[in-house]
């Protein structure tokens, strides 16, 4: 791991200052998402008379570690999500997968205590940092996408705001203190239950170095951004939107839904469509 702290010129570009918001009536067509149902085993055990509704986030710790290519049925996505839970996290009992009374989606229901496990999307937060007309990227030192480049980003922790989480992740991955200027993008990835919030930021001090999860940190000029070596589709989309804004002369806030193209590899960061793109 690179240990030396890189010292940069203290001057920074003013491009990110004065972010202005002007609503635009642009939107894409509605979309339908799905995933192949995962196999599961039926169980026989005593059940309580009434299910108990309890909410929890998904358990997969990997960013954009997507499942196999999707099938066309939206119902399959619900079934696939619930079938990942085979045992109750509260009492350890086996679960069954049914549609609870009054609901429309298949859930994992404990056959012993009757609690229902609701899986909620995870939020990933990060910073797009510009300094002297360059962008700060980190080379991942962990899986998935080991050795590929990314914006400093990671999962939001309980008890912190999205902005606080983005600043923390930037420190952890790039040892950089930043000032957040404004939100830049929200990108939803329903297939894997993730939402990305990316903020525009600037360095408080012209210093950075790799954290434990990074093997390298570098500033890339806009024309040298390594698009063929980016870690995730979310990073490709974010940086392409940024370059488009720079060329237009005005930074915008972007919302969109990232969908993997059917039949493509989950690890192919360029095999996606950006749907429902809106900007303001």
141: domain CATH number is 3.90.79.10
Are 112 and 184 in the same domain?
no
Determine, yes or no, domain membership for 77.
no
pLDDT at 41 over 60: no
Determine, yes or no, domain membership for 67.
no
Q: Mean pLDDT lowest for which of 80-89, 217-226, 228-237, 269-278?
A: 80-89
Are 232 and 105 in the same domain?
no
Are 275 and 185 in the same domain?
yes
Average pLDDT for 32-45: 31
Q: What is the pTM of this model?
A: 0.74
Q: Alpha-carbon distance 96 to 255, whole Å?
A: 36
Are 152 and 35 in the same domain?
yes
Are 111 and 195 in the same domain?
no
Determine, yes or no, domain membership for 16.
no
pLDDT at 13 over 70: no
- Domain residues for 223? 22-56+121-279
Are 164 and 252 in the same domain?
yes
Average pLDDT for 151-161: 98
Are 227 and 107 in the same domain?
no
Confidence grade of residue 65 (pLDDT, cut at 50, 70, 90): low
Closest among 2, 16, 3 to 203, alpha carbons compared: 16
Are 147 and 106 in the same domain?
no
Closest among 134, 146, 135 to 215, alpha carbons compared: 146
Confidence grade of residue 266 (pLDDT, cut at 50, 70, 90): confident
Over residues 217-236, the pLDDT tens digits come to 999 999 999 999 999 999 99
Are 108 and 208 in the same domain?
no
Determine, yes or no, domain membership for 214.
yes
pLDDT on residue 82: 43
Contacts of 94 (CB under 8 A, 6+ apart): 43, 45, 86, 87, 88, 110, 111, 112
Determine, yes or no, domain membership for 65.
no
Over residues 190-206, the pLDDT tens digits come to 999 999 999 999 999 99
How many domains would you assign to the chain? 2
Are 94 and 191 in the same domain?
no
Determine, yes or no, domain membership for 12.
no
Residue 161 class from Cβ within 10 Å (0-12 exposed, 13-18 middle, 19+ buried)? exposed
Instruction: Tell how strand 178-189 and strand 254-260 pair up.
Output: parallel
Are 89 and 146 in the same domain?
no
pLDDT at 26 over 80: no
Handedness of CA 58, 172, 149, 20 (dihedral sign): positive
Q: Mean pLDDT lowest for which of 1-15, 103-117, 141-155, 240-254?
A: 1-15
Are 96 and 192 in the same domain?
no
Q: Alpha-carbon distance 57 to 194, whole Å?
A: 10
Closest among 42, 122, 115, 39 to 80, alpha carbons compared: 39
Encoded tokens for 252: 């915008």
């Amino acid at each position: 791991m690179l240990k030396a702290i890189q010292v940069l010129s203290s001057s920074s570009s003013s491009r990110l200052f004065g972010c202005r918001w002007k609503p635009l009536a642009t939107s894409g067509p509605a979309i339908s998402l799905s995933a192949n149902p995962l196999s599961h085993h039926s169980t026989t055990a005593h059940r309580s008379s009434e299910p108990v509704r309890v909410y929890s986030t998904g358990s997969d710790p990997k960013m954009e570690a997507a499942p196999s290519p999707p099938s066309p049925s939206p119902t399959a996505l619900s079934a696939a999500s619930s079938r990942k839970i085979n045992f109750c996290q509260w009492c350890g009992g086996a679960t069954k997968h049914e549609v609870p009374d009054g609901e429309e989606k298949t859930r994992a229901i404990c056959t012993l205590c009757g609690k229902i496990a609701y899986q909620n999307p995870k939020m990933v937060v990060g910073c797009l940092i510009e300094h002297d007309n360059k962008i700060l990227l980190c080379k991942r030192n962990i899986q998935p996408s080991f050795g590929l480049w990314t914006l400093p980003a990671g999962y939001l922790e309980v008890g912190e705001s999205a902005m606080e989480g983005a600043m923390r992740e930037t420190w952890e991955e790039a040892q950089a203190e930043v000032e957040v200027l404004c939100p830049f993008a929200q990108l939803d990835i329903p297939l894997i239950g993730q939402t990305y919030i990316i903020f525009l930021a600037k360095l408080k001090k012209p210093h950075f170095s790799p954290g434990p999860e990074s093997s390298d940190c570098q500033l890339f000029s806009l024309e040298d951004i390594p698009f063929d070596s980016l870690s995730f589709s979310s990073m490709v989309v974010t940086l392409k939107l940024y370059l488009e804004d720079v060329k237009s002369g005005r930074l915008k806030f972007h919302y969109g839904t990232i969908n993997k193209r059917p039949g493509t590899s989950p690890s192919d960061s360029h095999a996606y469509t950006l749907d429902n793109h809106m900007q303001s």
